[in-house]
Amino acid sequence: MSSIDLKGKIERLNKERGAIILAHNYQVGEVQDIADFVGDSLALSKTAAKTDAKVIVFCGVHFMAETAAILSPDKKVIMPDLNAGCPMADMITLDKLRKLKEQHPQAVVVCYVNTTAEVKAESDICCTSANAAKVVGSIPADRKIIFVPDKYLGGYISKKTGREMILYNGFCPTHLRIIGEDIKRLKAEHPDALVIVHPESSPEVAGLADLILGTEGICREVKLSNTRKFIIGTETGIIHRLKKENPDKIFYPASEKAVCVNMKRNSLEKVLWALEDMENIVIVPDDIGKRAKMAIEKMLEVS
Ligand code: 13P
Ligand code: SF4
């Protein structure tokens, strides 16, 4: 089927089902283009929370769709590919978090949104890359903080807020594909370019950047900036949106190797099949969902 036919079918079925298509900034271009809304983890959860649609087609990875399902238990959340997971989210399990809590019983647990519903349910407050500093800053100064699972985001936020935190040994394998050498080479080739990297990057890469921002922050900064050239240190899918919104600006991905294979599992075909079959439903058990929702809602209040 041609991509025009596919798009037409998706649009018809999307209306028929009373659905909304949400896509993360890392999705392949054609999936971003068919979506009703494209954004970062925070904007996607906010949109999922307030939409009137009966069905949410979530084009991203599992923890993001799960967050949408937790916030909207009365809606059907479906994924084009249920196997699109996040290796970083899988690094922290419920057992491991419970052990960490036993070691630090007085600590407040901040979980990155890149976690399973079970881990969120066991945490006090959630955060995304866009609001992590605000969330950590909202915790009383006399309380210890456990931050899971990303040690690099956690380390960056700790430095930014001046709050010492107990970090877990999690990381994003995709962002670690960007190395200092890449940034140094690109900076030498394009000395007038602004370097913006995601806080999941290694401290070496972050140390070479002009700005450290989550995906929505990157999109905002690029739009507002007077600079014409940008070296972008995050998953390469974001370049599609950046080019589309800023046709006169030039983008250099920090590394072509920074590709999240899970984000790339979704395709137009799979979006159509998900809408046709309505089978790839994201299910969160009620009790876990209710507790996880408290951690997410606390985050939304703060941000
Ligand atoms: P953002 O919330 O910045 O979009 O990041 C999500 C993510 O998974 C980054 O790897
Ligand atoms: Fe997870 Fe990294 Fe992929 Fe984001 S880019 S979904 S953190 S593996």
Which tens digit of pLDDT belongs to each residue from 156-181? 999 999 999 999 999 999 999 999 99
Query: Can you give the pLDDT at residue 89?
Result: 98
How far is 225 from 167, CA to CA, in rounded Å?
Answer: 34
Cβ atoms 136, 110 nearer than 8 A: yes
Task: Tell me what percent of the residues of the chain surpass a pLDDT of 70.
Answer: 100
For domain 3-85+263-283, the question of CATH label 3.40.50.10800 is answered with yes
For residue 60, the ligand 2 atom closest to its alpha carbon is 6
Predicted confidence pLDDT, tens digits, the chain (303 residues): 778 789 999 999 999 999 999 999 999 999 999 999 999 999 998 999 999 999 999 999 999 999 999 999 999 999 999 999 999 999 999 999 999 999 999 999 999 999 999 999 999 999 999 999 999 999 999 999 999 999 999 999 999 999 999 999 999 999 999 999 999 999 999 999 999 999 999 999 999 999 999 999 999 999 999 999 999 999 999 999 999 999 999 999 999 999 999 999 999 999 999 999 999 999 999 999 999 999 999 999 998
Instruction: Return the CATH architecture of domain 88-171+288-302.
Output: 3-Layer(aba) Sandwich (3.40)
Nearest ligand atom owner, CA of 60: 2
Q: What is the reported pLDDT for 1?
A: 75
Residues contacting ligand 2 via CB (< 6 Å) = 61, 86-88, 114, 172, 174, 200, 235, 260, 262-263
Whether 88-171+288-302 shares its CATH topology with 175-253 is answered yes
CATH of domain 175-253: 3.40.50.10800
User: What is the DSSP-derived secondary structure letter of residue 170?
Assistant: B
Q: Taking the domains of the chain in order of start, what are their residue ranges?
A: 3-85+263-283, 88-171+288-302, 175-253
Centroid of ligand 2 to alpha carbon of 103 (angstroms): 28
The C-alpha atoms of residue 125 and residue 291 are separated, in whole angstroms, by: 11
State residue 279's pLDDT score.
97
